[in-house]
Structure 1
């Protein structure tokens, strides 16, 4: 059993600002605001968020730096820092490209994080998409899916309770090599990111949760049905937690242009809209707030936790 949150309730989390600055979602003020990441994480912790999340890229090629930027904080370092300044919120890698690293390295890093945080880790994983990143690290980009599958199998063992884990695979093998500390959690939850057919299959068969890649609401039902079909066919009976990334939000009337896709308004209206996710079979929603500075962001986080969150499960 690796379910993170109670069944039957819609839980909310957020991808943190600043730590990754793709032009798809970063607000302009984030470029010069590194020191306030702690302030945002603490605000989410106080507001009852289920998790805070960070991304993962090792290096961005010059030709992709325009839209992606080169600002991508290391997830283990960032989540470890956040573990020390928060109390309750879960710590999610969304997503770690674990195929870039040997599973024993990944296990050592994330087991230590889980141990030091008192068992708050959620290991979100993905295949990656930047070819140059793989090539620079000597990893076969074309085999990244197969390597990720084997890595996940190896991590199940390496993040388990045994001090001397054993694994034999095509790309990795290890035995008689001890690693302490062990994770605090008996089974570290693994949430698989991505919406391609391969990612959906991976989430269904190997995952404890699914992190879609920004699928709009109308596409979620077919994906969720597919996940359940694949699990049944594979004989997988353990629980799975289905995620969704919501439209950008603003609690209240913004008085400025938040974009045509943003959901804005009173708490009751926002909660009514977000409850539709639960009706679709979603267990946790990842929210992102439109904002113009850190003060407005933390105000939005607090307002969501105080006004919208209590209405999500009415």
Structure 2
């Protein structure tokens, strides 16, 4: 079972950001990415929001680094780990613009992009950018189809749909990968359908483990009914973790303990059919986080 990490610093929602992140900067982000690369993490991930309305700023904060710029910056600090947008709200931008940005990122990183996409949830963000919020699901469905074409091998991609229409417009560089993996985020019924029928993988959004198995089964059933039997990556987001016995209060939901105990708990995800597990390691400083990343990679991961 592969493992990845949503990076600190680049998004600072009060749901998960640690206090030390508020004064952190680019070097903290880069060192965390380097630590994940050294520790064998399959991917590092970055979120996407363009602007946060004042009514949500206290909870979500307004710190949301741009995913393309951030992942391109981190591509230069890493060599192996893949670069995941978790998730890009692609309905906010024209598919040709999205394709240009992410194809360039894939080329510059020598084929390490995983494009994670999602519907988005902040109404004001859509309205400010002139995109209909109520129809964002339908726009996303078509955007994914258009991106498939725009990130494919053709220099002059062609798409004709309800929301987007283009042909005879060339884009280079092309992605380094012949096929850019496209993972769909979200846990609603439309998101599961979209992942099953249009994606190469599924990124659940915080589903507790007791609800995960039924959703994995639902995605598999949808794919079987549609006659889809190609490779597909099932993801999960683990509970907060701390390798060892912390000398501070990490919260009642945090899994703590020796590596073998953590691995035993996390193997339950593999039994459900999970292929890649996103971990969130608790920390009070960048150094503690990078130490936790190293410990997870060296002591827990081999037991998964």
TM-score range, shorter chain: over 0.9
For the residue of structure 1 that corresponds to 2:22, the secondary structure is helix
CA distance in 2, matches of 1:301, 1:241: 23
Q: C-alpha displacement at 1:237, in angstroms?
A: 1.9
The TM-score, its normalising length taken from structure 1, stands at 0.96
Q: Which residue of 2 aligns with 1:23?
A: 14
The secondary structure found in structure 2 opposite 1:160 is coil
The alpha carbon displacement at 1:236 in A equals 1.6
Q: Is 1:111–2:95 an aligned residue pair?
A: no
In angstroms, what is the RMSD of aligned CA positions?
A: 0.5
Cα distance in structure 2, aligned partners of 1:30 and 1:70: 13
2:113 aligned partner: 121
After superposition, residues 1-314 of structure 1 pair within 5 angstroms as 10-35=1-26, 36-312=28-304
Shift of 1:266: 0.5
1:134 positional shift: 0.1
SS in 1 for 2:3: strand
Whole-Å Cα distance in 2 between the matches of residues 214 and 203 of structure 1? 16
Q: What secondary structure does 1:246 align onto?
A: strand
Q: Secondary structure at the match of 2:76?
A: helix
Q: Which runs of 5+ in 1 are unaligned?
A: 1-9
Q: What secondary structure, in the 3-state scheme, does the structure 1 residue paired with 2:269 have?
A: helix
1:240, distance to aligned residue in structure 2 (A): 1.0
Moved segments of 4+, more than 3 Å: none
Please give the alpha-carbon distance, in whole angstroms, between the structure 2 residues aligned to 1:148 and 1:30.
32
CA offsets 1:190-210 (integer angstroms, 9 cap, x no match): 000000000011000001000
Gap runs ≥5 in structure 2: none
How much does 1:131 deviate?
0.2
Q: Secondary structure at the match of 2:142?
A: helix
Task: String of CA shifts for 1:117-160, please: whole Å, max 9, x gaps.
Answer: 00000000000000000000000000000000000000000000
CA deviation map 1:182-227 (0-9, x unaligned): 0011110000000000001100000100000100011011101100
SS of equivalent to 1:52? strand
Q: What is the distance in 2 between the residues matched to 1:136 and 1:254?
A: 44
User: Secondary structure at the residue paired with 1:188?
Assistant: coil
Counterparts of 1:224 and 1:47, CA distance in 2? 28
For residues 217 and 293 of structure 2, what CA distance do their matches in structure 1 show?
32
Deviation of 1:304 after TM superposition, in Å, equals 0.4
Alpha-carbon distance between aligned partners in 2 of 1:166 and 1:291, rounded to the nearest angstrom: 47
